[in-house]
Amino acid sequence: MAKFEKIEDFLEDGSFRESVLAGRRDPKWESWLKDNPKKAVCYHRAVAILKEIREDSEIWDPKRKKAVLDRLKSSRRKAGRAKKNTHRVTLHVAAVIGALVLVAFAWLIGWNGVEKKPEVATRSTNEEWVIKTSPAGQKSRIILSDGSTVTLNSDSEIRYRPGFSVAHREVYLKGEAFFEVAPDSLLAFKVYSGTLVTHALGTAFNIRNYENMDHKVQLTSGKVSVLHGSARENAIYLDPGQELILGRKGRLEKKDFDASKALLWKEGILHFDKAPFDEVVATLERWYGVQITLKNRPGRPIIVSAEFQKDYLSNVLNSLGYSFGFSYTLHQKKVTIQFNGNSL
């Protein structure tokens, strides 16, 4: 097998193009990737280019073909202008775009002859997005085309526009996710979560962006900057072990956090540290895919500190009910919690 030192080496290889465009797993390439981890970035970039060509060629009408070619030509013109204005290394980018145009033309005239297969990702009707979700009661691990990995918590979603890892590395998050970002000196990795924008190059961090909860950015390795709103001059930098909290009232707070506790959700462990009862209820609904109704709720705040290791919902409710004075009924996916009259 060839050395495959550059992105175009992959694009020019027939077996590589065929396996990616067909949307099938190829044990030969999976084995090669394990033996050559340092070349993963080039590999995933080439995969992203071919996938975008395949997605753009889904509708075979002249208008669609013209739009694809116009966009590719525009990319070449932009690369040419960048080359005139700067003396930075743009030959590599131009070579990649040239290879992309070459492969795109070949694809449009039927060079590969691969039938379009349905994608796992979801696309919206108004604007094209690639969407990955983890429904309530589940967690998902996603490998992005740049080699970065994302672990999605329950009831969470990431979305990004076509061209990820080629033209941009911008991800939009709803819910909670742990990101392990592949290094890239040209394209910064950006996560948009509500009014926060987290910038990174190669690092690992956790972001929580659930409704009706404090939003958090928690850094475990590397370095990130976080913007609140559009004020670039107010960027907040985090070092490993630091978190930025955006409270529900809009207050920003930077402090240290315990990563060994904050990331227990990745291992399927529920951990509550002085959490309001509403937050506990919302978390249980996401983790177990249920709907919880509260009855006869006490007027005083209920604060929960507890940990449950991969336990059944019934055991969690039994423990909490004993501590905070409530009983419950569980029918299919609906839970009713009834507080005792003398609780708290």
Tokens of 201: 């190059």
The answer on pLDDT for 147 being more than 80 is yes
| pLDDT of 303 over the 90 cut | yes
Residue 195 has pLDDT above 50, yes or no: yes
Domain coordinates in residue numbering, the chain: 7-108, 130-261, 268-339
Residue 206 pLDDT level (bands cut at 50, 70, 90): very high
The whole-number pLDDT of residue 127 equals: 57
> What values do phi and psi take at 180, rounded to 5?
-120, 100
Average pLDDT, the chain: 77
Cβ atoms of 159 and 144 within 8 Å: the answer is: no
Closest CA to 169 of 147, 188, 150, 183: 188
Q: Are 225 and 201 in contact (CB under 8 A)?
A: no
The answer for residues whose C-beta is within 8 angstroms of residue 51's C-beta and 6 or more apart is 20, 145
pLDDT given at position 202: 78
pLDDT number for residue 216: 93
Instruction: Report the distance separating Cα 290 and Cα 232, nearest Å.
Output: 41
Strand partners, 176: 208
Q: How confident is the model at residue 109 (pLDDT cuts 50, 70, 90)?
A: very low
Do 244 and 252 meet the contact criterion of CB atoms below 8 Å apart? Answer: yes
Question: For 3-13, what is each residue's pLDDT tens digit?
Answer: 777 777 777 77
What's residue 24's pLDDT? 65
> What CA–CA distances, in Å, run from 279 to 33, 252, 323?
42, 19, 17
Q: What is the pLDDT of residue 332?
A: 85
User: Counting beta carbons within 10 angstroms of the beta carbon of residue 283, is it exposed (0 to 12), middle (13 to 18) or buried (19 or more)?
Assistant: buried
Does the pLDDT at position 253 exceed 70?
yes
Torsion over CA: 126, 127, 130, 133 (sign): negative
pLDDT at position 231 is 58
Question: Domain 130-261 is in which class?
Answer: mainly beta
Distance CA 138, CA 185 (A): 34
Between CA 110 and CA 296 the distance in angstroms is 67
Please answer whether residues 242 and 233 qualify as being in contact, where contact means their C-beta atoms are separated by less than 8 angstroms.
Answer: no
Region 302-327: mean pLDDT is 91
Please name the fold of domain 268-339. Phage tail protein beta-alpha-beta fold (3.55.50)
pTM as predicted:
0.63
